[in-house]
Structure 1
Amino acid sequence: MLYELRIYHVNPGKMQVLHERFRDHVIELFLKHGMKITQYWEDINDANNRLYYVVEHDNMETRNDNYERFRNDPEWIKVKRISELDGPYLNNQESIFMKTAAFFENK
């Protein structure tokens, strides 16, 4: 299993509308394209204006295929275009790829 930690550096004033976009559209679209989100977090320091989440993938190839389908989904293209009429939500996005440490079993 491949785990992708995505870190969104959110533009000032855009965190709430980003929450709404995830809640109303993105979570369902991710599921449609085979991507399972394990959890969402916000930075404890509001001044950092960051949103974090982990996506589970079978492997890197599946991850890339799923995101390609997601990015080209007409519904996503429309949601992104409409939701960002007043400017983009993010000023930067990072992805960190992880795997389970061999010594750890979550019981």
Structure 2
Amino acid sequence: MKFELRTYRASDGKMPALLARFTDHTLAIFARHGMHSVGYWLREDDPSVLVYLLWHEGDPAKNWSDFKVDPDWVAARSASEVDGSLTASIEATFLDPVEALAVGDLPTK
């Protein structure tokens, strides 16, 4: 299992549309390609930044390449970006768990 931390800076005024695209399309498409959401957060000091954590089944590079050509993703992205890109930048970092420091029962709220 490979973890991936992703940070998106929304284009000016586009965070609501970006979040809607995740809710309405992206999450289901991720799941079809072995990409599972752990959580999503807006930065407290900068609400134009979305941070999320995924875990990947199999090879993350293959998961992403399959995701990018998925017809549902291509259609959702095209429809949501008629007035321009929803993101100004995207950063991805892959993480390896440190088993000795695994966190147990985290609060859900």
Pair in the same fold by TM > 0.5: yes
Q: Post-superposition shift, 1:41?
A: 0.4
Distance 1:8 1:98 in 2: 17
Task: Work out whether 1:54 is the aligned partner of 2:53.
Answer: yes
Larger strand fraction of residues: 2
Residues paired across the two proteins, number? 104
Q: Which residue of 2 aligns with 1:38?
A: 38
Q: Which residue of 1 aligns with 2:107?
A: none
Structure 1 runs, 4 residues or longer, greater than 2 Å off: none
Q: Which residue of 2 aligns with 1:97?
A: 94
Distance 1:7 1:54 in 2: 9
SS of the aligned residue for 1:49 comes to strand
Task: Compute the RMSD of aligned alpha carbons.
Answer: 1.3
Gaps of 5+ in 1: none
SS of the aligned residue for 2:100 comes to coil
SS of the aligned residue for 1:94 comes to strand
Per-residue CA deviations over 1:15-74 (Å, capped at 9, x if unaligned) read: 00111000000000001111001000001024x510000110245xx1111111110011
Q: Post-superposition shift, 1:7?
A: 0.2
